[in-house]
Structures are given as structure tokens and as C-alpha cells.
Amino acid sequence: MSGSVLIDLIVFGLTGFGIFFSLVRFLLGPSTFERLVAVDMMNVMFIGVIVIISYSFKNSMYMDIAILYGLLAFIETVVFARYLESKAGKKKCGDEK
């Protein structure tokens, strides 16, 4: 990214550890919601990584890819959240019967 190796190491190291911790939470999360939260947070971190890559390659086309990726990630999160919410209501109706 920059000329200095130290700045690259700090930036990509910290971002990589953040993504790695989210991945660990995704793998051993106790419930579905924690996995969903971990995937959403990883997607937002990937937006930041794509923005850094666009500066690193000096090509502002990657910014459009970041926006599109964010849009698709948002739709994915909304669909999964609505689905889990509707499942909660149905389970309640089944319990009442």
C-alpha cells in the first residue's frame, strides 16, 4: 500500500486479526445469530479491505466493487434476519397448538 513496510504490516495485520477473530466466532458460535453477526461483521471488514486495495492498485474501479459488495452483503443480512424472525413467530404458534 504505502512505501513503508511497517505501515503495511500494522494496517494489514490489525485488519487480518479482526477478520480472523470474526471467523473464529463464526466457526464456534453457539447459536445461529452469532454466526450471522460474525458474517455481517466480516463483510463490513471486507469493504474496508477492498477500499485499501483500490488505493494500493491505484484504480478507483475497486471502490464501485466495494459498494456493490456492501449492497449484496446488506441484502443477505436482511434476508437471513427476516427469515429467522419469521421462524420465531411460527414456532410460537406451534407451541400454542
Grid coordinates in use for 14?
490489525
Output the smallest distance, CB 70 to another protein, in A. Answer: 6
Query: Footprint of another protein on residues 68-97 (CB under 8 A)?
Result: 70-71, 74, 77-78, 81-82, 84-85, 87-89, 91-92
Q: Please give the angle made by the CA atoms of 52, 48 and 12, to the nearest 5 degrees.
A: 60
In 1-97, the DSSP E strands lie at none
The phi and psi torsions of 49 (rounded to 5 degrees) equal -65, -40
The count of residues interacting with another protein (CB under 8 A) is: 52
- Which CA distances in Å does 58 have to 18, 50, 61, 74? 25, 12, 9, 27
Which residues contact another protein by CB under 8 A?
2, 7, 10-15, 17-22, 24-25, 31, 33-34, 36-38, 40-41, 44-45, 47-48, 51-52, 54-55, 58, 60, 63-64, 66-67, 70-71, 74, 77-78, 81-82, 84-85, 87-89, 91-92
